[in-house]
Structure 1
Amino acid sequence: MKQRFYERIGESVYRETLPNGLQVCVVPKPGYAKKYAFFATRYGGMDVRFQLDGRWLDTPAGIAHYLEHKMFDTKEGNALQELAKNGAEPNAFTANAMTGYYFDSTEHFEENLEILLSFVSVPYFTEESVAKEQGIIGQEIRMIEDNPDWQIYTRMMQALYHTSTARTSIAGTVESISHITAETLYDCHKAFYTPSNMILTVVGDVDPIHVADMARRILPREGGPAIPRDYGEEPETVAAAETCRAMEVASPQFLVGFKCRPAADGEDYLRLAVLGDMACDILLGDSSPLYLRLYDQGLINSSFGGAFEMMPGIAYLYAGGDSKNARAVAVEIQKEVDRLAREGIDEGFYQQVRRAAFGSNLRGLNSFENIAVSLTEGYFHGYDPFRFPQVFDTVTREDVAAFLRDNLRPDRMVLSEITPKD
């Protein structure tokens, strides 16, 4: 395995690409009792249309999440229970462009890793178990659809995007999951749960070579072909300027979203992530001039916040919370963007935000889970997340001002509201 030491953050990473295409990453943590393993595939809620064996498949919305639930089924029983018996704390999640299975443990690490690699790589579905899961996941979907936070975000995404599969809820709908069969699950597993489309990341006091040898021994020898995917051709315009729904809420809620220009994979992807996060903090952070002004005017409260997000082919910045006058907040956000573009960003405030953002990235290395997920996302998007100090060095306050000016424009903005029922 190749070792690389990152002097500015004091971390080492061992990497190896196995003959079957699997990327293995190990971050040694000598002296720590806990060990963390993360096994992920570049397959998530957005991957509903793809090409397999020369033909395009249109799969039901929510199938990646559904498959995640069913992967724990084995011929012998349930992998979750087996891991728990060994003292591990296992779980899994499905995101828009990734599905990850993981556990942490202080003992029986090798046994637990073997279980993890085995059940994720060897699917076992029956029509009966698939049908039973529809009721369970259908109940989950009904619960989240009654959640105003979920509604306001989903409706914002549907207003921002015309065709991108990011418009689709990761869980799907009750109707869409009713079309999932054991056959479609096997097709999706065959397409995406191949070693060449996956990465194993381990963080802890382990032998990197031994981890790679275990993966080499347990996983299939063949890696699988690259799978073409169709995320939809997305224009720069938004699909709708605003959306509003009445629900059983105590006070009005809102999200203002801006459709940003995405970056291609590679270090530009990491740079845009850093740039977008800093722009978000400078514009919307709780020490920003805009936040303090809106708070003093009573237009927002402590629920107000924002974030910058990236997915395959898209990027967006959004902010929101509780407000009785969401339109006024949206107007003030746009005014502040115009002011920053015209006057520039105060140097002292920029340096304050930059130090805080850099420190947040550095503190993230204290979390085994954060390390593993960051390395996974970096691998899937072609960049090295541990190079963030060098990327920070290239970002200037003029870059942040240009990002705000170019992306946070009225024609790229949508307003999503949830209002109380009469």
Structure 2
Amino acid sequence: MISKEYPRIGETLYHAQLENGLHIYVDRRPEFQKSYAFFATNYGGMDMKFRLDGQWQDTPAGVAHFLEHKMFDTEDGNALQDLAANGASPNAFTSSAITGYFFESTEKFYDNLKILLSFVSVPYFTQESVDKEQGIIGQEIRMVEDDPDNQVFYALMECLYDHHPIQVPIAGTQQSIACITADTLYACHKAFYTPSNMVLTVAGDVDPEMVCRIAREILPAESGGSIERDYGGEENDKASVSVKELKMEVSTPIFQLGFKADPAPAGEERLRRQLMGELACEALLGNSSPLYASLYEKGLINANFAYGFEIYPGCALMAAGGESRDPVQVRDAVLAEGERIAREGIDEALFARLKKGLYGARVRAMNSFENVCIELAQAHFAGVEYFRFPEVFDQIQKSDVEDCICRWVTGARCGLAVVRPGESV
């Protein structure tokens, strides 16, 4: 295991690649009582079509999420209960791009790590338990379908993308999960829950070498091959549909406004693109921006307004949303501000403040073990050395951010999704 110093953020990161291909990262934090472990696979809701044993598999929407639910089942009981009995706080999540299992604990860390690695690497499903889970997840899907915030998000994805699976709900649909069988879950586990497609990240006062020894002891000695995935081909740079409207039981219209950004390559450029996108959001939409103050004063947005920049394999987007009495007017104002910035640029003093603020927020986020472990895992899958973010941040110029706004914030790349008051149809 090797260690590397990151003096800009005062961190030492230990890294090893095991013989089976698994990468392990340990951010050792001496004198902290709490420790955190995150075991993730590079497999999420949009990985529905892939090649396994030379054959293309086209799996139903929602398998990654369904598999996450079922992985806690063991032949002897339930891993959640085992971890809780050991004083750990465990959980898991599935995003469009990854699935992660984690726990935090102040005692019995190594015992809990063994449990985590064991249940994630050894699947145990029966058709009876799968049938039961279909009912549980089906109820979860119905709740999501009644959630306006969730529905307006996926409506925006349908506006922006022609075919990329980012527009498919992570949990799937009632129809898609009905097609999932125990054999489906075993096939997807075989394909994606293989050491070379996974990463283990740990933060806390732990022994990095002990973490490696436990991983070697518990996990398979060999790994499967790389996974070829199909996201439906390259998207063009235009939004698929300019506007999509729904009706649900809301008191005020809810909207999501998005701009189709350029996909980011793997490696350090991906981190650079992420930071540029976040700065572009702050300059265009942030609380300190001229546009935000104008929209707020006119009563077009309120304190629920939120924004962000997201990168996934094969796609990236800027998005903002919340409640508004006139979402179309908000969209038009954002487009007009994008045009103004393209002509006049971003105010120098404002850019300096935004850059300092965003850098500070990233440094403060290092205080969260959960954030550190998840960021390290996501960065690994993207080919990024996450703790180098200060150096990458230094390289970003005002002109880089202005160029992003000029290219991305256009009518052709814009999609607007709105949920208006009324009965759904």
- For residues 62-81 of structure 1, the aligned pairs below 5 Å read 62-81=62-81
Unaligned 5+ residue runs, structure 2? Answer: none
Name the aligned partner's letter for residue 303 of structure 1. Answer: N
- Letter of the 1:215 partner, please give it: A
For residues 345 and 136 of structure 1, the distance between their equivalents in structure 2, rounded to whole angstroms, comes to 50
**What is the TM-score with the length of structure 2 in the denominator?**
0.98
Aligned equivalents of 1:120 and 1:161: distance in 2?
A: 33
Q: What are the residue-to-residue correspondences of 1:6-155 with 2, within 5 Å?
A: 6-155=6-155
Pairing of 1:353-368 with structure 2 (within 5 A):
353-368=354-369
Deviation at 1:155, TM superposition (A): 0.5
Q: CA deviation at 1:408?
A: 1.0
- Farther off after superposition, 314-323 or 232-241: 232-241
Partner-residue secondary structure (3-state), 1:21? coil
- Post-superposition offset of 1:324: 1.1
Report matched runs for 1:272-291 at 5 Å: 272-291=273-292
SS of structure 2 residue aligned to 1:357: helix
Q: CA deviation at 1:319?
A: 1.0
Q: String of CA shifts for 1:65-86, please: whole Å, max 9, x gaps.
A: 0000000000000000000000
Aligned to 2:317: 316
Query: TM-score by structure 1 length?
Result: 0.99
Residue 302 of structure 1 and its aligned partner are, at CA, apart by 1.4
Shift of 1:223: 1.4
Q: Does residue 1:383 correspond to 2:384, yes or no? A: yes
Quick one: which amino acid aligns to residue 166 of structure 1? I
* Alpha-carbon shift at residue 303 of structure 1 (Å): 1.5
SS in 1 for 2:15: strand
The Cα offsets for residues 8-42 of structure 1, whole Å up to 9 and x where unpaired, read as 00001000000000001111010011010100000
Post-superposition offset of 1:341: 1.0
Instruction: Give the aligned residue type for 1:245.
Output: L
Q: Which residue of 2 aligns with 1:199?
A: 199
The 3-state SS of whatever aligns with 2:228 is coil
- For each residue in 1:362-412, what CA deviation from the matched residue of structure 2 results, as whole angstroms up to 9, or x when unmatched? 011000001101110110000111101111111111111100001111000
CA distance in 1, matches of 2:34, 2:266: 33
Give the whole-Å Cα distance in 2 for the aligned partners of 1:158 and 1:289. 30
Gaps of 5+ in 1: none
The residue number in structure 1 matching 2:168 is 168
Query: For residues 237 and 252 of structure 1, what CA distance do their matches in structure 2 show?
Result: 25
How far off is 1:255 after superposition? Answer: 1.1
Q: Percent identity?
A: 53
Pairwise CA RMSD of aligned residues? Answer: 0.7
CA distance in 2 between partners of 1:376 and 1:363 (Å): 18
State the distance in 2 between where 1:306 and 1:404 align.
14
Q: What letter is aligned with 1:183?
A: D
Q: Which residue does 1:413 correspond to in 2?
A: 414
Partner AA of 1:239 in structure 2: S
SS in structure 2 at match of 1:366: coil
- Residues 166-211 of structure 1: per-residue CA shift (max 9 Å, x gap): 1100000011000000000000000000001001111111110110
1:340 pairs with 2:341: yes
Q: Aligned partners of 2:41 and 2:115: how far apart in 1?
A: 17
Partner of 1:393: 394
Q: Which runs of 4+ in 1 moved over 4 A?
A: none
Structure 2 matches for 1:260-275, cutoff 5 A? Answer: 260-275=261-276
CA positional deviation for 1:237: 2.0
3-state SS in 1 of match to 2:43: coil
- Structure 2 Cα separation of the partners of residues 5 and 392 of structure 1: 18
Cα shift at 1:332: 0.5
Q: Does 1:404 align with 2:385?
A: no
Amino acid at match of 1:119: F
Aligned to 1:331: 332
Amino acid at match of 1:253: I
In the other structure, the counterpart of 2:158 is: 158
State the Cα distance separating 1:260 from its structure 2 match. Answer: 0.5
Distance 1:47 1:369 in 2: 24
Q: Deviations over 1:127-185 (max 9, x none)?
A: 00000000000000000110000010011001111110111000000110000000000
Report the secondary structure of 2:96's partner residue. Answer: coil
How far has the Cα of 1:305 moved from its partner? 2.0
> What letter is aligned with 1:360?
A
Give CA deviations for 1:104-139 in whole Å, capped at 9, x if unaligned: 011111111100000000000000000000000000
Matches of 2:254 and 2:95, distance apart in 1 = 24
Aligned length: 422
Structure 1: distance between partners of 2:152 and 2:172? 16
Q: Give the equivalent residue in structure 1 for 2:301.
A: 300
